[in-house]
Chains A and B, each alone.
Chain A
Amino acid sequence: MARDSYQEQLEGLREDVCYMGEVVMERLRMGLDALDRKDEDLAREVIEGDYEVNQMYLELEQQCIDLLALQQPVASDLRFIAASFKIITDLERIADLAVNLGEYTLDATRDLFPDVDIQEMGVVTLDMVDDAVQAYDREDIDACRELATRDDDVDHFAERASEIVVRDLIERELEDASEVESLLQDVSRLLLTIRDLERVGDHAVNIAARTLYMVENDDELIY
């Protein structure tokens, strides 16, 4: 086959993006575990480890730029590189959201809303990221379309969870002013966590959308 080295570079990019996906999923898993177990050491590990993900992002971005500049890709190769370029941005953002989970863990003082199952939402979004990265790796367009529908469930879950928090807050009777301040901080942290996990789901859908474009030149899931 002609341009063997070029084809190897494209395959290398695919493998590297998938590897970045695995690293980012591990960060997200660690962030969720840290939050669940109130494990401050693990939380710090996630926060400090973000540097590594950022470096990985910059290296992959450079790989994409080099391929564009030096190989002048066209057609499916061009779409693959363009999609990969966007997907690494989504993965890097997911890692940032994992960092947020670590920071919430360090800020957290109490578990005030046991009815809101953050872990369940976390597992659902983590699965979505896993499936999105696999869809990219396998060029599985059915999985891409299926992911878009699952995101509706995550959005619904996030709405319901936020509603539980607000409703509980209204009904709660507070003893003194210092308790109000502390509660507001905890509520704010929880709402941000819900929003962040909902955004993880959005990024998973973005990855699926770019994969669908990459494979089929179909932009139906983009925006």
Chain B
Amino acid sequence: MTPPQMSHSETESAADQPDTTLDSDIVDDGDGPDQRTMMDRTLLEARNLDVYYGDEQALTDVDIEIPEKQVTAVIGPSGCGKSTFLRSINRMNDLVDTARIEGDLLFDGKNVYDDDVDPVALRRKIGMVFQSPNPFPKSIRDNVAYGLKVQGDDENVDEKVETALKRAALWDEVEHQLDESGLELSGGQQQRLCIARAIAPDPEVILMDEPASALDPVATSKIEDLIEELAEDYTVVIVTHNMQQAARISDKTAVFLTGGELVEFDNTNKIFENPDHQRVEDYITGKFG
């Protein structure tokens, strides 16, 4: 694979890089957790974040503070950079050859693009769920266990698989068919299986890129309920085209508009009842265009 063009490039093998700083227990941002309430503690922060794909600028000077254990929705028209932003958080853009990143993206106060950050270790802390359910052609058990095995975690696997499936609200539906293929599940179940796979390594953050866009309303409703439950234990950042979904499930909403600009970030009810920016108002009311 050709290394991506990045200012903090991932040129060494991930395995060669020590995971010295990603354990949030040992990161001290100097602020002290006791000076902030848990509800408002910032877990992810972008500062002057620019992302380019070759000559194209996908994100422009993004500043945002994403609170811990809340659901943050990222909305905006196609091509506004919302998925780019999501993929910047756990360095998925490293996999894009032409991607280049400037500015800071802090996870618990530590820049994830620092040279000493191992992207694989980072992704254990910041899991991801994609638009289309993508279970492996393996058993349900192995699908969930896969995330653990990749991380070298092979202790109490069955117990951890059960916990992850329960947290993903899928256990009751599959507990007697754990050895059957994950591909035999319905679309909604497959997506919850992918969520179980993402949370099995016990991450701190779950990134979701349009997780319900391929699902019917009933399956969507289950995923939305699940997202709200997950926010009790995890920080959830979700990209969605469905503004009503953002309104229903998120605590905070970030609105990106054309040019990769984060125009407004606020409490979700503020965004949907009385946004500060006319461009946001025009976008969410459908006057855009």
Q: In the bound complex, do residue B285 and residue A1 qualify as a contact, i.e. CB atoms below 8 Å apart?
A: no
A residues in contact with B274, CB < 8 Å? 75-76, 79, 217
Interchain CA distance A47-B274 in the complex, whole Å? 41
Give the total of A residues in contact with B, Cβ under 8 Å: 14
Query: What is the minimal beta-carbon distance from A10 to any residue of chain B, in angstroms?
Result: 9
Interface core residue of B247, B274, B275 (most chain A CB under 10 Å) = B274
Q: In the bound complex, do residue B275 and residue A75 qualify as a contact, i.e. CB atoms below 8 Å apart?
A: yes
A residues in contact with B34, CB < 8 Å? none
Q: In the bound complex, do residue B286 and residue A79 qualify as a contact, i.e. CB atoms below 8 Å apart?
A: no
Query: What is the minimal beta-carbon distance from A132 to any residue of chain B, in angstroms?
Result: 22
Q: List 14 additional A-B contacts (Cβ < 8 Å) besides A3-B287, A74-B284.
A: A2-B286, A2-B287, A2-B288, A2-B289, A3-B285, A3-B286, A72-B243, A72-B244, A74-B243, A74-B285, A75-B273, A75-B275, A78-B273, A79-B274
Q: In the bound complex, do residue A1 and residue B284 qualify as a contact, i.e. CB atoms below 8 Å apart?
A: no
A62 located at the interface, meaning its Cβ lies under 8 Å from any Cβ of chain B in the complex: no
A residues in contact with B243, CB < 8 Å? 72, 74
Shortest Cβ distance from B288 into A: residue: A2
18 contacts between A and B (CB under 8 A): A1-B287, A2-B287, A2-B288, A72-B243, A73-B285, A74-B243, A74-B273, A75-B272, A75-B273, A75-B274, A75-B275, A75-B280, A75-B281, A76-B274, A76-B285, A77-B285, A217-B273, A217-B274
A51 located at the interface, meaning its Cβ lies under 8 Å from any Cβ of chain B in the complex: no
Interchain CA distance A75-B281 in the complex, whole Å? 6
Interchain CA distance A1-B287 in the complex, whole Å? 6
Q: In the bound complex, do residue A6 and residue B286 qualify as a contact, i.e. CB atoms below 8 Å apart?
A: yes
Interchain CA distance A72-B287 in the complex, whole Å? 14
Q: In the bound complex, do residue B284 and residue A75 qualify as a contact, i.e. CB atoms below 8 Å apart?
A: yes
Query: What is the minimal beta-carbon distance from A77 to any residue of chain B, in angstroms?
Result: 5
Contact with B along A54-95 (1 / 0, CB 8 A): 000000000000000000111111110000000000000000
B residues in contact with A6, CB < 8 Å? 286
Interchain CA distance A3-B286 in the complex, whole Å? 6
Interchain CA distance A75-B282 in the complex, whole Å? 9
B residues in contact with A78, CB < 8 Å? 272-273
Taking residues whose C-beta sits less than 8 angstroms from the other chain, chain B's interface range is: 10 to 19
Interchain CA distance A77-B281 in the complex, whole Å? 9
Interchain CA distance A73-B289 in the complex, whole Å? 17
A residues in contact with B280, CB < 8 Å? 75
Interface residues of B (CB under 8 A from A): 243-244, 247, 272-275, 280-281, 284-289
A residues in contact with B286, CB < 8 Å? 2-3, 6
Interchain CA distance A217-B284 in the complex, whole Å? 17
B residues in contact with A76, CB < 8 Å? 274, 281, 285
Query: What is the minimal beta-carbon distance from B172 to any residue of chain A, in angstroms?
Result: 32
A7 located at the interface, meaning its Cβ lies under 8 Å from any Cβ of chain B in the complex: yes
A residues in contact with B244, CB < 8 Å? 72
Shortest Cβ distance from A2 into B: residue: B289
Shortest Cβ distance from B280 into A: residue: A75
Interchain CA distance A172-B27 in the complex, whole Å? 87
A residues in contact with B272, CB < 8 Å? 74-75, 78
Q: In the bound complex, do residue B289 and residue A75 qualify as a contact, i.e. CB atoms below 8 Å apart?
A: no
A residues in contact with B247, CB < 8 Å? 74
Query: What is the minimal beta-carbon distance from B255 to any residue of chain A, in angstroms?
Result: 11
B residues in contact with A2, CB < 8 Å? 286-289
A residues in contact with B288, CB < 8 Å? 2
Interchain CA distance A72-B248 in the complex, whole Å? 11
Query: What is the minimal beta-carbon distance from A213 to any residue of chain B, in angstroms?
Result: 10
B residues in contact with A72, CB < 8 Å? 243-244
Interchain CA distance A74-B244 in the complex, whole Å? 9
Interchain CA distance A1-B288 in the complex, whole Å? 7
Interface core residue of A72, A74, A76, A217 (most chain B CB under 10 Å) = A74
Q: In the bound complex, do residue A79 and residue B273 qualify as a contact, i.e. CB atoms below 8 Å apart?
A: yes
A residues in contact with B289, CB < 8 Å? 1-2
